[in-house]
């Protein structure tokens, strides 16, 4: 905000509270932290109460889509069929798939199997089979607000080795989210994630991270999952972003398919697992808006 309201005026965020009781203390603290050399978010990244409610409603539908699609993840099902089901159900919910036509992406969902790290493009030629681990990444626009989350699914009889990878990847995400506290640092998230993955003998993808979300599909800040504690942007109440570590069974290296320019694979051909939630920084901790 270029012009701050008077301290006894209603706050710019639409909370109905006076500025001095709402965002004034937050902005004063941001100014103090900035003067100490810390990176602080631009005020435009702090969501208003109205915007948070819109993202929350979008997130409810995104979560419901992942609840819904789990019943269809089975041996012999094509990823194209999963895409069709997600697209239809999203529209039944009054939403629009955020991935469809986003920067040329051709489908309504990302379905990534085994050594596909992310951005797997649904196809009638890709068929789920017994033993696969599958990430389904759903993103929804509802009334102009964006949400984003993903889950891992197991197809049939999955090996213990793959199951452990899936479990640890979920733990990594959860431990990262536990670091989301007002006035802590974005880097705290990546430190917790990377430490847990390495402790279990896995690696974390460096090139791809989480992102701000809500008014657009991808906003600032970018969220590294291999960052260092005490570094990066301050976590200020009102920030909304995803935490979505991609944990590899082997080495961290990845590459993008040259033919479709989207599908990301592990360089060593070993499996990868990912979980994702949309998180709001609150005045006391965090709220999950999509999971």
Kindly report, residue by residue over 233-264, the tens digit of the pLDDT.
999 999 999 999 999 999 999 999 999 999 99
| pLDDT for res 186 | 97
Residues 214, 14: Cα–Cα separation, whole Å: 17
pLDDT digits (tens, 9 = 90+) for 23-69: 888 988 898 989 999 999 999 999 999 999 999 999 999 999 999 99
- 1 pLDDT tier (thresholds 50, 70, 90): very low
Residues 291, 96: Cα–Cα separation, whole Å: 18
State the DSSP code for 121: P
Residues 202, 226: Cα–Cα separation, whole Å: 12
Residues 62, 138: Cα–Cα separation, whole Å: 7
User: Could you tell me how many residues make up the chain?
Assistant: 291
- 181 pLDDT tier (thresholds 50, 70, 90): very high
CATH number of 19-29+41-290: 3.90.230.10
- The percentage of residues in the chain with a pLDDT greater than 90, rounded to a whole number, is 89
pLDDT digits (tens, 9 = 90+) for 212-236: 999 999 999 999 999 999 999 999 9
| pLDDT for res 3 | 65
pLDDT digits (tens, 9 = 90+) for 102-146: 999 999 999 999 999 999 999 999 999 999 999 999 999 999 999
pLDDT digits (tens, 9 = 90+) for 58-84: 999 999 999 999 999 999 999 999 999
pTM beyond 0.85: the answer is yes
Alpha helix segments (H runs only) across 137-217: 160-178, 186-199
Domain ranges of the chain: 19-29+41-290
Residues 64, 69: Cα–Cα separation, whole Å: 9
- 4 pLDDT tier (thresholds 50, 70, 90): confident
- 18 pLDDT tier (thresholds 50, 70, 90): confident
Residues 11, 21: Cα–Cα separation, whole Å: 8
* Mean per-residue pLDDT of the chain: 96
Residue 186 CB partners (closer than 8 Å, separation 6+): 221, 223, 224, 227, 231, 232, 233, 234, 235
| pLDDT for res 10 | 85
Residues 277, 193: Cα–Cα separation, whole Å: 14
Residues 177, 173: Cα–Cα separation, whole Å: 6
288 SS3 class = strand
| Token output for 133 | 């681990």
219-223, strands of its sheet edge to edge: 219-223, 210-212, 240-243, 277-281, 286-290
State the DSSP code for 100: T
Residues 173, 246: Cα–Cα separation, whole Å: 9
Higher model confidence: residue 253 or residue 10?
A: 253
> CB atoms < 10 A from the CB of 50, how many?
12
Q: Are the C-beta atoms of residues 105 and 118 closer than 8 Å to each other?
A: no
């Amino acid at each position: 905000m270029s012009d701050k309201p008077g301290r006894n005026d209603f706050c710019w965020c639409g909370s109905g509270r006076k500025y001095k009781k709402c965002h004034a203390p937050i902005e004063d603290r941001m100014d103090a932290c900035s003067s100490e050399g810390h990176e602080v978010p631009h005020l435009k990244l702090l969501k208003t109460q109205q915007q948070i409610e819109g993202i929350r409603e979008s997130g409810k539908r995104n979560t419901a889509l992942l609840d819904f699609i789990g019943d269809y993840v089975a041996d012999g099902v094509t990823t194209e069929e999963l895409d069709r089901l997600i697209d239809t159900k999203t529209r039944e919910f009054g939403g629009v798939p955020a991935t469809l036509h986003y920067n040329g992406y051709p489908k309504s969902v990302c379905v990534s199997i085994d050594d596909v790290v992310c951005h797997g493009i649904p196809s009638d030629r890709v068929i789920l089979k017994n033993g696969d681990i599958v990430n389904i990444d759903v993103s929804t626009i509802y009334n102009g607000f964006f949400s984003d989350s993903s889950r891992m699914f197991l197809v049939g009889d999955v090996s213990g080795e793959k199951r452990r990878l899936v479990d640890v990847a979920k733990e990594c995400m959860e431990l990262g989210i536990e670091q989301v506290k007002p006035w802590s640092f974005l880097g705290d998230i990546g430190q917790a994630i990377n430490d847990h993955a390495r402790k279990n003998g896995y690696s974390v993808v460096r090139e791809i991270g989480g992102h701000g979300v809500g008014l657009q599909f991808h906003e600032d800040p970018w969220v590294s999952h291999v960052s260092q504690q005490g570094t990066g942007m301050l976590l200020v109440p009102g920030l909304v972003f995803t935490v979505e570590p991609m944990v590899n069974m082997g080495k961290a290296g990845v590459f993008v398919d040259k033919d479709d320019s989207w599908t990301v694979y592990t360089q060593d051909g070993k499996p990868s697992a990912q979980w994702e939630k949309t998180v709001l920084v609150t005045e006391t901790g965090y709220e999950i808006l999509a999971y």
